[in-house]
Structure 1
Amino acid sequence: MTHAVVKEAWEKVQAELERTIGEQNFHLYLKNTLIVQLNPDIAEIGVPNLTIADFVEDRFANDIMASIERVQGYRPATLKFSINGHLFRRLRERERANRDERPVDPAPEAPRTTPRREPIPRRRLNAQVFNLNPRYRLDNFVVGPSNKLAFNCAVEVATRPGRTYNPMFIYGGCGLGKTHLLQGIANALLQRHENLHTLYVSAEYFVNQYVQALTSNAIEQFRARFRNLDVLIVDDIHFLRGKEKSQEELLHTLAALETQGKQIVLASDLHPKELEEFKQSLQSRFVQGMVAQLNTPQFDTRLALIKSKLGPHRERFPDGVVSFLAEKLDCNIRELEGYLTQLSALAAMTGDKLSLPLVQQALTDFLAHRRRLVELSDIENVVIAHFGVTSEQLHGRVRKRNIAIARQVCMYLARQLTQHSLKEIGRFFGGKNHTTVVFAEQKITSAIEEDPELKATVNRLSRQLNAPETA
């Protein structure tokens, strides 16, 4: 087909798409696209930038393929998005025009945070079993009445480990910042006290390593590893429920560390006294130091959080829109971040400020499909805890069966539970090619049909990440 014929066919497909997804969605997301190739082998669509490409692929790929099939009579084998220079320049010109027309506003009040520090060197992160998220720092944790006590204690622990608030126990519901604070403490200690042996793990990882040590007759090596630390940070303590032997081992580990004046930091969904099927002696150990709660952020804190999280997109969110979001997004921090990510993508597509009616409509759609935002680091950490591998092994090229399966499960869960593209997932897990991610997804999809144990594992990890089960 000539380019003119292809262009005419794409215009018909666009008209069908407008009827399918609605006028507003079409004008926001797919009007400013063009067709590069259209045949039974491939449909290649030009878009302004990678952000829009990933968003449209994740949200409208099925609608695009179905519309092509209805108009052209065939379904292309491949759907591809490419960055088009003309569309990119046109979007930038529109953004510049909007900036030139916009009056200069006074700088918004910055959220209260501690002074910014340099990022943690990657060299130190490699010493950790878990992949510490470099974004989880104490200096970018937004403070308010709902978390002030826990934050102040965390700063004190990171500044003078082992001297006050020992042990420190943080508790609160899902997505309120427990992991941010714990990894923030770990990141700060790795930067300020390089001579200290600091280790961040989940309770599940502790249990699995303990069981493995028992079965391999390596309990002394296990104890030497955990009892010779300067700082032990354990997340998701509630995982130990009903595991008496693991609780007993943790109790002796905490006692050994406290005797040496070493710092202990723990986190759970519940207050120590509310943890069911826990040894009373362990609960008493938890509460003998500092216990601090994280609550759902109030309006003023949510307002500061939104301003902080928007970052470079802040100029596209008028103050009225920001206040509306702070009022309506009465949820945990992780969900709030998810909504802001989608709205920021919407702003990038329009190239203009978001109006209140548009945000109201978009927010209605988001709330109707409300689900926890899952990060790639979340997936990596639950897989590390379950399979007993390390972040370095997952990112490496080792092909031992247990490591390969763990890596493939990571990629499978990433495809199921996140909106990241194949390229982004591959890049996160050690710079793998996108075809590796496709193979991993297909491999696990096939394996869980034949292996009930693996299916149960994948479903349990999905539940742990607060997502629906595999059908």
Structure 2
Amino acid sequence: MPAPQSKVLLDKQSHGNGTQANAAQKVWDACLDVLKDKLNSQAFKTWFTPISPLHFSDNELTIEVPSQFFYEWIEENYSTQLKQALKDILGSEGRLMYSIVMDRSQNNPVTIELPHQNMPKNGPTENGCSTTVKVSSDRDFLERYRTKFESHLNPKYTFDTLIRGDCNSLAFAASKSVSQNPGQNAFNPLVIYGGVGLGKTHMTQAIGNHVREKSISEYVLYVSSEKFAIDFVNAIQNGNIQEFSAFYRKVDVLIIDDIQFFAGKEKTQEEIFHIFNTLHQSNKQIILSSDRPIKEIRGIEDRLISRFNWGLSADIQPPDYETRKAIIQSKLEQNGVTFDANVIEFIATNVTQNVRELEGCIVKLLAAHSLFNKEIDLSFTKTTLKDIIRIQSKQLSLETIEKAICSYFSITPNDLKGKSKKKEIATGRQIAMYLSKELTDSSLKTIGLHFGGRDHSTVIHGYNTINKKVENSAEMRSQVEELKKRIEIMSI
């Protein structure tokens, strides 16, 4: 029972510093035994194992915590459990004081002492700081982050400049809803996913810009997953991990782009897990983007996948023809220029998979027009954009090559991308890699990923194998030429 244990500890109090430390250790160990049963193991290890008991006298226990943030976090999240543990061990008259390490850069670390909020207060602390210091200190702590806060939002990314179509209707509607009531809806987190250049970053930042424009909150943060991971590593190396964590936990709307890049980064994922929990429990809005559905991201911990799926996932598909025309027209209006209808139709017809490349076409045409002072007609457009249009069509041919190979060798796409070493499958796979390198501008990495997630060295090996056979075998030359004809017909 708690009472007898408390009495034994109190009977051993002494005015000697050594015995005070021993008594403090025994009291704190007893408190830890109580807390272990009330907290999960991760929380206990993270927030209570680093604490050191300093001294125990007159029914008051003083413990040392490593930072202001550490103190604040315990008070905000575990105050009730800690109060009950102290009551169990010391009784209702027990008191707790924090000794907070404020600066370790000096030979003798600077500390202040503050009382536990929910325990009886006993006037000024030993160093003369009254209990009002805590209020001031908390405000100063927050202001250190508030005053240097930058949202990193692009002001051009708004809902007004975002074209809505069938390709993004769900994502658009959900984003508008979240922007009007962040953190107070069922779409938390909101996950926007889709291929490269389809407008994920534009849409997620439009939410943040709307929140700030309507003064719902100033504390909106956009960060790429790569920057988050780099800053996290730097924080560890520089001993600033607690300030790093505190900063993210104070954000009202957190937008993280391209979360697939967290795959395999275990420590970073652990930090994201704790930040996510804190923000979600505080009804703060979390917005994520990815290049694929959450369930398809390999190398992300199951507990994170589960949390990312708590809210709503909405995809963005490549825009249809009408939406592509609307995007082009919108970009032209933003730049205060007009294009001939044939030019708009040509671009919309030939650039089909990527909104970013639609925008790139417009920028390139305007730049060429400015440099050469020529009219932007269809002929000028075809000449100026021949590289972009060519690259776009060749990117699409990987799928065409795959279909031609599967048809020719009577195998399935799964066979082609799988691990089977049967002769017709292995040969078909190597020819597919060979033709992909010969007929497209796709990188070795892209080709390898397309054909079963293989690395570039496998593609090189496959290419060299077929290239040698083409040179030395009439049968192989005939097969490759036949396949090239099929691919050409299928591409028309």
TM-score (norm. length: structure 2): 0.47
* Larger gyration radius, structure 1 or structure 2: 2
| Higher relative contact order (Cα pairs below 8 Å, separated by 6+ residues) | 1
Q: What is the TM-score of this pair, normalised by structure 1?
A: 0.49
